[in-house]
Amino acid sequence: MKTSLLFRAGVASLALAAVSISAHAQQGPKPTPEMQAIIDKDNGRHFGTSPEDPGPLAKDISPALTPAAIDKVMRKVADWQLKESQPYFDKIWTWSVLYSGFMAASDSLGDPKYRNVMAEMSEKFEYQPRNPDKLPNADDISIAQTYAELYLAGGKKDAKIIAPTIHTLDTVMPLETLRPGDPRIPWWWCDALFMAPAVYTRMYAATGDHKYIDYMNAQWQHTYDLLWDKDEHLYARDASYIPKRGPNGQKIFWSRGEGWVIAGLARTLQFLPKDDPRRPFYVQQLKDMAARVAELQDKDGQWHASLLDAEHFPAAETSGASLFVYGMAYGVNEGILDKAKYMPVIRRAWAGLLNNVYADGRLGNIQQTGAEPAYYRPSASYTYGVGGFLMAGSELKRMAKKK
C-alpha cells in the first residue's frame, strides 16, 4: 500500500510540473482596450492586481488530495491574499466571496486566524449589507453570508450580528421586481444565485423563520424559468445573452457565471432543510450542471472563460474552475454526485488550479469583473477567485478526511 501511495503521489507531482510549464507558457490574447479599462478600474479599486512579472510559479505544493497537501496550498494562498487585501476590505460582492472563502478556510484548517479577521471586518461594517438604504440587490447582500455564519458559530447569542440583515431582507422581500420602476426580476442574472440564496438559507438557520426559504425557492424558480438552457444544462448569464453568439457561432456560456450557480447550489443545499419539498430540484440542478461542466473540461483539467469556445479563449480561467471544484466536491461529499465518475474530474481540476499558483501564493488566471468571457494576463489575481479557491480546498479537505 505504501508503495502504491508513493507511486501515485510521484505521478501526480510529475503531472503537475509538466502541465505547469504548458499552462504558464500558454497565454490568451491580450486584453482589448475595453477589457483593459475594466482591469485598470478593478486594480484601482484594490480588487486585485495583474503585474507583468508575477515571479515564478510555486514549486513547493502538491496536487495530492491529502489533508497535509491541501492544507499547505490553502494556507499559502490564503496568507498571501490576506496580506494583500486586508487594508482594503469593503462590502461589495468582490470582497464578500473572499470572506466566504476565509470562513471556509478557517474551519478547514482549524485556524481561527481568518475567522477572527472576518469578525473584525464585520464589526467594523456594523454588520450592514452594501447600500442598505437603496433596496440592495443580490450582490449587495452577499456579505451577509459571512455575518450569518459568524452568528451561527457564536451559538446564536449576539442578535446585533443579524439584525441589519433581518431589516434589509424584510425591506426587499415584498418587492415583486428588482426595484419599483425596474421590471427585472430580483435575481435577473445568474451570478445572483451564488450571492443571495445562501443568505436566505443561512438566515433560516439563524432564525427558524421559514419565510426566508419560501422567498428563496420562489426567486430561484423565476431565475431558472428565465435563464436555464434546457439543451445545454447551463444558465445564460442574463436574458440579453440568450440570443447572442460568440466568435465561433456558439452560445455564450461564461465559466465564472456557471461557477456561481454550481457553487450557489452547494451553499444553498448546506442549510436548506432536508425535508424541503424543493430540495430535489436543487439536487437535480447540481447533477445536470456538473455533468455538462465535466464534459467541457480540458485534458489538462482546466476550463476556459468561454466554455464552448476554447479557440478564441484559450487561456485557463481559475475563478470558474475553483467554483466548479467546490460544487462538485460538495456533491461527492454529500452523496449527490457519483464518486467514481467525478473524482477523476476533480483531481484533474485541482491539479490544473495549482498550476496557476505562484511562489508567493498568488493565484493567477482570474478574469477581471464583467459579464462575459474576456482576456487577462496569466498573473491576474482577484479577491473573488481566491474566495472560490479556498472554498474548493475546504471541500477537498473534507473529502480527504473521510478516507
CA distances 283 to 109, 211, 288, 391, Å, are 28, 21, 9, 19
Residues 6+ apart with CB under 8 A from 115: 102, 103, 106, 107, 150, 153
User: Can you tell me which residue has the cell 432564525?
Assistant: 207
The domain containing residue 326 runs over which residues?
Answer: 2-402
Say if residue 301's pLDDT is above 80.
yes
Distance of alpha carbon 86 from alpha carbon 94, whole angstroms? 13
How high is the pLDDT of residue 55?
98
CATH (domain of 102): 1.50.10.10
Say if residue 172's pLDDT is above 90.
yes
Say if residue 1's pLDDT is above 80.
no
Single-letter residue type at 138: A
pLDDT bin (cut points 50, 70, 90) of residue 28 is confident
Helix (H, G, I), strand (E, B), or coil: what is residue 177? Answer: coil
User: Can you tell me which residue has the cell 452568528?
Assistant: 151
DSSP string, 234-248: EE-SBGGGSS-B-TT
pLDDT in tens, 106-158: 999 999 999 999 999 999 999 999 999 899 999 999 999 999 999 999 999 99
Single-letter residue type at 287: K
How high is the pLDDT of residue 35?
98
What is the count of structural domains for the chain? 1
Q: For this structure, is 191 an active site residue? A: yes
118 closest CA partner among 137, 139, 91: 91
How high is the pLDDT of residue 402?
85
Distance of alpha carbon 403 from alpha carbon 386, whole angstroms? 26
pTM for the model: 0.93
pLDDT bin (cut points 50, 70, 90) of residue 13 is very low
Q: What is the CA radius of gyration of the chain?
A: 20
Pick the catalytic residue from 191, 238, 300, 309: 191
How high is the pLDDT of residue 315?
97
Beta strands in 142-263 (DSSP E): 228-229, 234-235
Say if residue 22's pLDDT is above 80.
no
Say if residue 26's pLDDT is above 60.
no
